[in-house]
Amino acid sequence: MSVTYRDAGVDIDAGDELVERIKPLAKSTRIPEVVADVGGFAGLCALPSDIEDPLLVSGTDGVGTKIQLPFATGKHDTIGIDLVAMSVNDVITTGARPLFFLDYFACGKLDVNIAEQVISGIAEGCRQSGCALLGGETAEHPGGFADGEYELAGFAVGVVSRRGVLGPQRVKAGDRLLAVASSGLHSNGFSLARRVLLELSGLRLDQKLPELDGASVGEALLVPTKIYARAVKALQSALGADLHALCHITGGGLPGNLPRVLPKGTLAKITEQPPVPAIFKLIEARGPVEKDEMRRTFNLGVGLVVVVSAPAYERAREALVAAGEQVFPLGAVEAADDGAEPSVVYVEG
């Protein structure tokens, strides 16, 4: 009897079935610039015709050790939103409009139902971002993963006019900082969160806690990463050139990320503390985890920082609120020593 690829651990028929299930998911994210549907060797997407001197912007990321939560809870339909968010939220900090997204899904043995749930989350993330799910890759690696486990990677591409690029070159002393609320941990700091909550505190993922307003630990940890593409579009429409920079708060928190959008010779003075979601308070208390460690590990409720000219502060706040975001004052950009590396300074109240 001859040996088949399925005997070696790779099921071509299951892969073909998944492709057929993905097609309607991808179609639901289609944008006018998409030229070819899922199924070819490569995805085709035209550049928007209304962008002068267009630049392509790219980003790639995964979801870190948050990937372990779907395996433990059996809930696979939101981790794809996280995957899209981590790349798209980086791309939009340049002022770019997200165009398309590609995913990579690797597993030991393909479970079509689980894979479909994951990719349905990716499609939802694309719809929230206004970009197309243009293609992807599903790979079976027999013996490479434990049963029921998989790995994800994502790749986002956007487009921005050269003269519309946001960043340190626009920022100056006197600019104001607005904090846009996160939805929770997003996809950073999960190794510390799991260490504190599950290992040291012995909590169960299905355990409901009054500190979490009756939600379970697993529910609080699995809340999907917020995608800020629509909020940024609203800011651009309302502010124009008064929008100077955007900072996606990921691993490293405010201290590790804000300096990336500041020019030399400036610092970000943090004078306000936006509300801290309950999950962070639980981690800090149960560790215990020192305040500085919390600040440099987690977003602590701030998923995006918006840097605007001082006169545009109120317009920016109103535009974000109208877009459905929770917005809080955070501080301002101040001058530092000439040539000094950008930094973050907290003013304790």
pLDDT band at 157 (very low <50, low <70, confident <90, very high): very high
* Dihedral sign, Cα of residue 96, residue 101, residue 106, residue 109: positive
In this predicted structure, the answer to whether residue 214 has a pLDDT above a threshold of 80 is yes
What does the block give as tokens for 100? 């398309």
CATH superfamily of 12-164: PurM-like, N-terminal domain (3.30.1330.10)
pTM of the model: 0.95
Distance of CA 295 to the CA centre of its chain: 18
For residues 267 and 260, the answer to whether their CB atoms sit within 8 Å is: no
> CA 323, CA 330: separation in Å to the nearest integer?
19
Fold of 168-346: Phosphoribosyl-aminoimidazole Synthetase; Chain A, domain 2 (3.90.650)
- Please tell me the predicted confidence (pLDDT) of residue 104: 97
Handedness of CA 142, 145, 146, 150 (dihedral sign): negative
pLDDT in tens, 35-82: 977 777 888 999 999 999 999 999 999 999 999 999 999 999 999 999
Residue that is written with structure tokens 């940024």 in the block: 232
Q: Are 218 and 69 in contact (CB under 8 A)?
A: yes
Predicted pLDDT of residue 154 = 97
Question: Domain spans of the chain?
Answer: 12-164, 168-346
pLDDT at 16 > cutoff 90: no
Pair of tokens at residue 48:
């928007």
Token code pair at residue 25: 């998911």
pLDDT of residue 71: 97
Q: Residue 349: pLDDT above 70? A: no
For residues 253 and 300, the answer to whether their CB atoms sit within 8 Å is yes
Q: What is the pLDDT of residues 109-124, one digit of tens each?
A: 999 999 999 999 999 9
